[in-house]
Amino acid sequence: MLPKSAAFESLMKTAAIQALRRKLAADKPVFGLWVTLESPSITEMAVALGMDWVVIDAEHGHLDWKEIVEHLRATARSETVALVRIAELNGGLIKRALDIGADGIVIPWVETVEQLKKAVAFARYPEEGLRGIGGERATCWGQCMVEHTAEANEHVLVVPIIETVRAAKQVSQMVQVDGVELFYFGPADFSSTAGHRGQWEGPGVAEQILRCKDTIRQAGKHCGLIATSHENLLERQKQGFRMVGLGLDAGLLFRTIKASLAVVGRDRPVQASFAPTLEQSPTPAVPQPRPPESMRPDRPEIMSAVGSGPKIEIARGVVFECLVGSHNQARKLTTGLVTFAPGAVLPYHLHTFSESITLLSGSAVVEVEGRSYTLGKLDNVVIPPGLAHQARNNSSTESAVFHIAMPTDTPSRTLVDKFFSRRTMPATQPGVPGGERVNRFATAERGAAGPNTEFIDFFNQDLVPGIEMSGGYGLFHPGGRLPAHYHDFDESICIISGRATCNVEGRRYSMADCATALQPRGRVHYFVNDSGSTMEMLWVYAGPRPERIVVEERNATVEGNPWK
């Protein structure tokens, strides 16, 4: 028979815990994964990828103890420290998690020094603590009781989560508690207790967490939180957080699937009902504290009144005034107004890029390879690259005015000398598959992009596969507004009726009468209707999806301007 010491050894991963502590002592970050899904393969992947730690979440979600122990088994004899987040500060839960092999515990909602001291006591054997000795996995089912109990008190990790305003006020005392070397932050719950339920870091919360972080580091201890993106991961490192979570397993899976769907134009937001829908303007549910440094803009915003842009007569009686384009440093975007004199015709031509045509006033017809569409006010036609088309003013007495948009800053056209047999298309015809898309303003589907607003998507990657831009119509009732946001591309906004206030990082502009704003990539801005009547706009993004990245409102103020 083998001696007991040869047959068994303590399951506590002392070497892994020591390696984690060495990295932290050298002020190096330790990266990990928050595990919420059942399959132990997830934890095996984390181990195979060399992650420093995993937290197995037994507070939220549906993991039971059988599933938790399988995750712990996946870390056995590895360099990955395995922690279990229990549901509450409870001696029985702490004992059970440690008995089945956890290297440490994560305690939610710790608000006082007394609670933290109690957690440490529950995690330690007497005489230093109150943990009972069990014959479970941690002691190799009783075969390594002496070895395990001799080293457990020194190596067990107790990690409190600071996730309330009350807890933040106690951090300077908590860092003095013996047996605690790591702290974690829960920004979402912190925001909720600060009166901003549903936000990841509500107004002022980011600053409070950073102050707590400084207090913890000054005491020679370390802290961490979960990153929300690749950019945020790097930002958190620079800020001094050292126990940084790459994300939740479910969240990372969602992010990867959505990114793949976006490549083929099939990305959708997710509703609480699990039913996928196409929002009019998809936005993150949680505002970012500020744009990442990688989004720093290199150009100012420009407001162009009608009459200020360069004009060119592109056909007899047809004049194009460019309001957003290369002349004001727009990138991958040209928008403006085309005025047709009575009876004027723009002959058949085509582009190597898409074009959007929206009738603002008058009576007009757009033909695409002979398919003839009579347009009413604010009807829109989207024409993919390579399709020959023409437009004409049906009236012999009144002008017609179009708003046009193209996803290029160097527009060009090729005249087409070819006969197309004309076919009058019914008013209900939405275009043809694989060809033009016709949006009838009166019957278009509407959604909201902010309080007291109605929005229509005319074109984007989902509606017109392969298109290089996105855009549509927005109606702002009195008091209607958008949240502070920015884009990863340039944007054009034309105020087609009423009066709008455009706020760009605290700079305010009053706009009306088809005045058009160029918002360069990275500029934080929003529009609001401060008047007593409605306001309408046409917006165009130099990107195929109508994505706006919402940030905290302070970014749109002079004081909070992220780029000053």
Which are the catalytic amino acids?
Answer: 60
**CB-based contact 363:394 (threshold 8 Å):** yes
CA-wise closest residue to 495 among 300, 307, 303: 303
CA-wise closest residue to 493 among 435, 542, 441: 542
Taking the chain, what is the end-to-end CA distance rounded to the nearest angstrom?
74
The DSSP code for 396 is S
Q: Residue 35: in which H helix or E strand, if any?
A: strand 30-35
Give residue 493's identity as a one-letter amino acid code: I
Cα–Cα dist 326/332, whole Å: 9
> How many residues can be counted in the chain?
564
Cross-strand bridge partners of residue 368: 371, 389
With a CB cutoff of 8 Å and minimum separation 6, the contacts of 368 are 381, 383, 387, 388, 389, 435, 436
Cα–Cα dist 116/1, whole Å: 45
Distances (CA, A) of 345 to 169, 317, 395, 466: 71, 8, 11, 29
Cross-strand bridge partners of residue 527: 502
